[in-house]
Amino acid sequence: MELDLTADIIQEEDINNFCNVDWDEFRKELSVQLANLLQPTPIDNQKQLEHSCESLTKAIQCVIVTQVPVMNITLKSKRWWTKELTQLRCQ
């Protein structure tokens, strides 16, 4: 029997940190982006549905890019660590 005990090396990556979002600002920006979309109309066919979904998705992604902070995940990152744990540690 042979065991392969090599560990995979995780690459560093940038991810959106949704834990540190100012949700009031996020909602305001999302309202602005949604107001820029066309007025809602009944959807009669697949093409209209796809266009509406694409427009909504682009609006949400634009707000995520502008309002959600990015954090760099490294080999030593603790993804489970939260702001509440930092406050408890200080106490």
Which of 56, 32, 35 minimizes the C-alpha distance to 48?
A: 56
Q: Mention every residue, 6+ apart, whose C-beta is less than 8 A from residue 64.
A: 16
On whether residue 5 sits in a domain, the answer given is no
For residue 23, count other CB atoms closer than 10 A to its CB.
10
pLDDT surpasses 90 at 69: yes
Specify the higher pLDDT residue, 45 or 19. 45
User: Is the pLDDT score of 15 beyond 90?
Assistant: no
What total number of domains does the chain contain? 1
pTM here is 0.70
Q: For residue 44, tell me if it sits in a domain.
A: yes
Instruction: pLDDT band for 82, please (50, 70, 90 cuts).
Output: confident
Q: Of all residues in the chain, what percent carry a pLDDT higher than 90?
A: 54
Residue 60 lies in a domain: yes
Domain residues for the domain of 24 are 13-90
Is residue 55 assigned to a domain?
Answer: yes
Is 52 inside any structural domain? yes
Q: Is residue 2 part of a domain?
A: no
